[in-house]
Structure 1
Amino acid sequence: MKKIKANSLKVNKDFLEIDLEGIKIVFSTAEMDRSFNRHNELGVVNLESIRDDFKVDSVKYLQQIHSDKAYIYNKYYKNIKDEEGDAIITVEKNVAVGVFTADCVPIIIVNEEKKVVAAVHSGWKGTFNSIVVNTINKMKEEYKINISNTKVYIGPHIRQCCYEVSEELKEKFIKNTSVEEGKLFKGRNLSMEEFILNDLRTSGIKENNIFSLDLCTHCEKSIKLYSYRSTNGIYGRLFSFVYIK
């Protein structure tokens, strides 16, 4: 896995951008206090503003429910925004597909060869139920992607330094993975990333094709991010998305 520092990325207003061959990955920040909460009017306006900011035709997302469900979006899918799930896959050009987070893990999966992309929302439930594996499997089944050249980008989320869980949940995670307890936990502080990394490696993603933005939504000081835990439930939403140019 390669760690990416925020200061090494292209910064555009309140977005961190990564340009690949014919594909752009974007992680929003809270630097300009712009929240992307689909459940209020301003949030919807901000979501729609992405079309102008990035010159895409549309912005697509799901009704997130902390599941392991992944959907495939194509231009004939009229009501994708009403579907309940936590990962969205597409091969459509100029369509931004994204997920909302505010401590959960945003994951972007790209295959440049077949031009297939996915955005995944992985909270503790999605992480526990290996939503990233389900998404990769769906991409393989539908588009026959080659795992050896598929890349994965893990965005800002609450990290082990700040994410304390119950003893009961700790025991459930330990029983559900082959990751060493000392890596997965420090005391009761969970590393969702370590669990996800194990899933990615088991799925065949190469180590040098895994990238992680080294940012904790809860305690990062160099860049402003939204965090559910740090604001006692009064929080905005980050939006992480990807599109094919």
Structure 2
Amino acid sequence: MVEAVLIDLFSLTANLQSNLQGLLHNTLEAIEKCSSSHAPFVYVMCCQRQGSERKGEQESLLPALRGFQSLKRRLEVVCAQTTAAALYTVKQRLDEKDLSIIKVILPTLRKDLMKVYINHLFTAVYQFEFEDLQVAPDSESLQISEHQHEGQMLPSQDMAFIQHEIQMYLESLPSLKGELTILRSSLIPDDIFLHGFTTRTGGISYIPTLSSCNLFSSSKRRDPQIVVKENLRRLANAAGFNPEAFHRVKVDHANAVCIMGKTEPDDYDGIVTDQKGVTLAAPGADCIPVLFADPVRRACGAAHSGWKGTLLGVSMATVNAMVSEYGCNMKDILVVLGPSVGPCCYRLPHESAKEFHRIDPKCVRLFDSANPYIDIRRATRILLERGGILPENIQDDSITDQNQNITFCTACHPDKFYSHFRDGTNFGTQIGFISIKD
């Protein structure tokens, strides 16, 4: 069942308002007839020409909007100077109401163009269907841009223009939830390495569970890749790294490690490099983003360690890659555990808890219960120490000076961090990142 209808009038000019009003009136009438049992939300998207008042644009359409009682409270005119701005505003309205099934009614010649905008601004969570807007071809008052034809591949310059238009619009948006904040460890020397752990503030993601500096896009979530890219650009500007030389692990919840400069595996949860200016990153939204630094050999790494990866030894696999690839000495490697779900909140089924109990009984609380509490940080530390990392070279929540603590519980701090455990499937993601300074 269609939940929302988007009527795209953006390319139409109204020299004689009555024709445009008639077109809109007929379209709304058809929607009302077809949806008598369930009135969808309706958004009319039109161009706000430079120098014109938004209110004036809307008022010109008012006669066409009158009389539709079932749609009245569900109908909104969205005017903007660019298609990107108008469509992004419509997306915000859809997300406020958690709507996902949208019919787009638009001129035939706009269809391919609109599909490109939608591909950039939406994810697979949304379902779109398209219907032609019936525009009289001989009407002098309704003009449609004619530089493309439906069903043909858009010229590359048009594709580039659309992406640029969207990027420029997103860059113009204000940051949400305060300034961008980066947590840094005193263990990693800042004269050699650039590093940090992100929090959830200072980006443009507006959906509550993703707000605001979400740094991961998924087909199952509502934040598109282009929004995540803008959040990353803002992070890069604040932190001082190049977003074009940024490499995030391809999460598999296992223990494979990618060596920068060698063949990239299909999936991996650890990544290492000795190249300057290359930023490595590991995501976390309860799972631990772990950073590794060797100031002697000037090598670094990042790993994503959830409960499965922890049991599979992803942190030591990353350490071992640094040793074998770059000749690092185990005693020189520094390891920092970032914000992650703490033993105060994290529970697993008893069968999985047994594996952590075998590492050390202190990793499990209420072991005899159906869902014991698990300390994946303690398990990570124990496995690192057993592998040869010096205890004093590991920073986690066990440090004595809590002013130096950056291993906060993500589930306990909704104002600072994202949490899958707390927020459900449409959760945001923070990252840990590290690079070797030039």
Partner residue of 2:296?
113
- Please show how residues 119-134 of structure 1 align to structure 2 within 5 Å: 119-134=302-317
In structure 2, runs of 5+ residues without a counterpart are: 1-178, 203-211, 219-223, 367-371, 397-405
Report what 2:241 is aligned to. 56
Alignment check: 8 A CA contact 2:290 2:305 kept = yes
User: Does residue 334 of structure 2 align to residue 155 of structure 1?
Assistant: no
Separation (CA, whole Å) in 1 of partners of 2:228 and 2:425: 17
Deviations 1:189-244 (A, max 9, x none): 000011111111011111111112230000136x5100001112221110110011
Structure 2 counterpart of 1:93 = 276
1:214 pairs with one of 395, 404, 407: 407
Separation of aligned partners in 2, 1:55 and 1:207: 30
C-alpha separation in 2, matches of 1:220 and 1:204? 33
CA–CA distance in structure 2, aligned partners of residues 195 and 163 of structure 1: 13
- Deviation of 1:29 after TM superposition, in Å, equals 0.3
- Structure 1: which amino acid aligns with 2:411? H
Secondary structure of the residue aligned to 1:60 is: strand
Q: What code does the residue aligned with 1:14 have?
A: T
Q: Deviations over 1:133-188 (max 9, x none)?
A: 1111111111110111211000010010000111111123323x2x2x1x111111
- Supply the distance in 2 between the matched residues of 1:97 and 1:83 (Cα, whole angstroms): 17
What's 1:186 paired with?
365
Give the Cα–Cα distance (whole angstroms) in 2 for the partners of residues 84 and 151 of structure 1: 25
1:26 equivalenced with 2:205 (yes/no): no
Please show how residues 36-51 of structure 1 align to structure 2 within 5 Å.
36-39=215-218, 40-41=224-225, 42-51=227-236
How far residue 63 of structure 1 moved from its aligned partner, in angstroms, is: 1.9
Secondary structure of 1:170's partner? helix
Identify, as 1 or 2, the structure richer in helix. 2
Note the C-alpha offset of 1:105. Answer: 0.7
Instruction: Write the distance in 1 (CA, Å) between the matches of 2:387 and 2:253.
Output: 21
CA contact (8 A) 1:38 1:47 kept: no
Cα separation, 2, equivalents of 1:46 and 1:88: 22
Paired residue for 1:6?
Answer: none
Pair 1:228-2:395 in alignment: no
How far is the alpha carbon of 1:49 from its aligned partner? 3.8
Matching residue within 214, 226, 229 for 1:35: 214
1:98 is paired with a residue whose SS is strand
Q: Does 1:238 pair with 2:430?
A: yes
- Over residues 69-128 of structure 1, what are the superposed CA-to-partner deviations in whole Å (9 max), with x where a residue is unaligned? 011113xx6x85x83110110111111100111000111010001111000000011001
Preserved CA contact (<8 Å) 2:249 2:304: no
Aligned-CA RMSD value: 1.9
Partners of 2:236 and 2:411 in 1: how far apart? 29
Gaps of 5+ in 1: 1-11
How many residues are matched? 225
2:255 corresponds in structure 1 to 68
Distance 2:355 2:335 in 1: 26
TM-score w.r.t. structure 1 length?
A: 0.85
**2:228 corresponds to which letter in structure 1?**
G
Q: Separation in 2 of the partners of 1:152 and 1:171?
A: 26
SS of the equivalent of 1:126 reads helix
Question: Matched residues in 1 for 2:303 and 2:382: separation?
Answer: 16
**Identity within the alignment, %:** 24
8 Å contact 2:340–2:407 — kept in the other structure? no
| 1:14 partnered with 2:199 | no
Please tell me the residue identity of whatever aligns with 1:240: G
Asked which structure has the greater CA Rg, the reply is 2
Does structure 1 conserve the Cα–Cα contact (< 8 Å) formed by 2:271 and 2:301? yes
Q: Distance in 1 between matches of 2:183 and 2:356?
A: 31
Cα deviation 1:40-86 (Å, max 9, x = unaligned): 32113322444433333311113211110011113xx6x85x83110
Matched-pair contact (CA < 8 Å) for 1:157–1:216: yes
Residue aligning to 2:353: 170
Aligned position for 1:204: 388
- 1:137 match: secondary structure: helix
Highest RCO, 1 vs 2 (Cα 8 Å, sep ≥ 6): 1
